[in-house]
Amino acid sequence: MRTISTLTLAIALLTSGIGLTAQSKEFLPLTPMDRIQIQQLIARYAYALDTGGRNGYDYADLFAADGVFVGMNQGDKGRLYRGRDSLAALARGGPRNQNYVSHYITNVILEATPDGAKGTQYAIIGDVSQPSGKSAWTHGGHYEDTYVKTPDGWRFKSRVFYASEGGPDPKQLKNDPLKAPVAPAAAAGDPVPAPVPKATGLRNLTAEDYIEIQQLVYSYPYSLDTAANNGFKYADNFSADGEFIRPPTKGRDNLAKLAIDQPHGPNFVRHYLTNIVIEPTADGAIGKQYLVVLDIGAAGQPSSIFLGGHYEDVYAKTDAGWKFKRREFIPSRANAPASK
């Protein structure tokens, strides 16, 4: 019989967000302002931890009175910090000063729960204070959070950090690393993919539309890096006629295979997105983001940048919500000709 550690059980209870009493509570959606406030809480976390402000209490006060932080990368079974003084002491450890920068957090996904909200984000952590050539990413992974709304605003009820960890023998990218692995794609003679529409003849996008598209964009790395549900979680980010460009890949089965063929694992972290721009069009919306793909070093090895560039997207509003109708990755090039 498998033994469940006390820490594992505590994490499960803290992060579930649903208990016997919670099932009877009214399930309220997150308002746009709720989402903004939680996003601000997440952003303040990095500043509070890196600076150690107010002797660590800037960090501690981001948590509810009964809030906890769990570092699953600290020791074989992880380490739990509970209580304001314990959390403040955590923030005082390591290099800390008012100008120190170490924690970069992105890909913020938020969902309402009966008790408040839950969320997850990617993090890359490093020492970028060294002279050029000596700065390095030291480790990375993802956070899994639960949030509670207190009289002082949204706070962390629990925050758990999981280090990036790949699955068994993932199929590595070969040949041209700036392309996705070859998957069954459009046949020879198929029409050339339609160009990205211009932002003219605009329709109105509501605040909820912007939020849903943003959440779609930030869900993309999780579904690609984990290849969950045999890659179909990735495929379901696309509309029925949606396609990924480079190489042109269409169809739910083919898109799922594209995710399966890339390195992946249940805790794997690789694709970091930022600088999201969303614009309305006559038929829906278009967007773009910066991407950096990081190979996070295991067992203390340094991390490295695999590639970078940006995505250009076309979004369509379907019966299942906003989806990618078209997504193209364009690698970053130094000294490329200026666009006209």
> Which residues constitute the domain of residue 139?
6-163
Half-sphere exposure of 46 (CA within 13 A, CB side): 19
- Domain presence at residue 171: no
Which of these ranges, 125-129, 145-149, 309-313, has the smallest mean pLDDT? 125-129
Residues 254 and 118 in one domain: no
Asked if residue 179 has pLDDT above 60, the reply is no
Residues 11 and 159 in one domain: yes
Residues 127 and 212 in one domain: no
Q: Which residue has the tokens 């209490």?
A: 57
Residue 301: pLDDT band by 50, 70, 90 thresholds? confident
For residues 184-211, b (16+ Cβ closer than 10 Å) or e, as one string? ebbeeeeeebeebbeeeeeeebeeebbb
Which of these ranges, 25-34, 187-196, 202-211, 309-318, has the smallest mean pLDDT? 187-196
- Domain presence at residue 97: yes
For residues 111-132, b (16+ Cβ closer than 10 Å) or e, as one string? ebbebbbbbbbbbbbbeeeeee
The predicted-structure confidence for 180-233, as pLDDT tens digits, reads as follows: 444 444 455 555 556 666 555 566 899 999 999 999 999 999 999 999 999 999
Residue where a domain terminates, one of 144, 163, 182: 163
Which residue would you say has higher pLDDT here, 180 or 254? 254
Residues 144 and 19 in one domain: yes
The predicted-structure confidence for 266-298, as pLDDT tens digits, reads as follows: 999 999 999 999 999 999 999 999 999 999 987
> pLDDT at position 247, please?
76
Please state, for a pLDDT cut of 70, what percent of the chain lies above it. Answer: 78
Asked if residue 174 has pLDDT above 50, the reply is no
Residues 14 and 149 in one domain: yes
Residues 212 and 157 in one domain: no
Residues 224 and 287 in one domain: yes
The predicted-structure confidence for 59-102, as pLDDT tens digits, reads as follows: 999 999 999 999 999 988 899 999 999 999 999 987 888 888 89
- Domain presence at residue 173: no
- Domain presence at residue 219: yes
Residues 12 and 158 in one domain: yes
Residue 6: pLDDT band by 50, 70, 90 thresholds? low
Number of domains making up the chain = 2
The predicted-structure confidence for 37-57, as pLDDT tens digits, reads as follows: 999 999 999 999 999 999 999
For 36, residues 6+ apart whose C-beta sits below 8 A from its C-beta are none
Q: Which of 210, 232, 33, 42 is nearest to 120 (CA)?
A: 42
The DSSP 8-state label assigned to residue 203 in this structure reads P
- For residue 26, the domain's CATH number is 3.10.450.50
Which of these ranges, 9-18, 59-68, 242-251, has the smallest mean pLDDT? 9-18
Which residue would you say has higher pLDDT here, 13 or 264? 264
pLDDT, mean over the chain: 84
Residues 215 and 296 in one domain: yes
Measured CA to CA, the distance from residue 110 to residue 160 in angstroms comes to 15
- Domain presence at residue 180: no
Residues 135 and 254 in one domain: no
Residues 138 and 228 in one domain: no
Of the chain, the end-to-end C-alpha distance in Å amounts to 66
H helical segments located in the chain: 6-16, 32-51, 57-60, 84-92, 207-226, 232-235, 252-260
- Domain presence at residue 192: no
Residues 157 and 12 in one domain: yes
Residue where a domain terminates, one of 133, 163, 193: 163
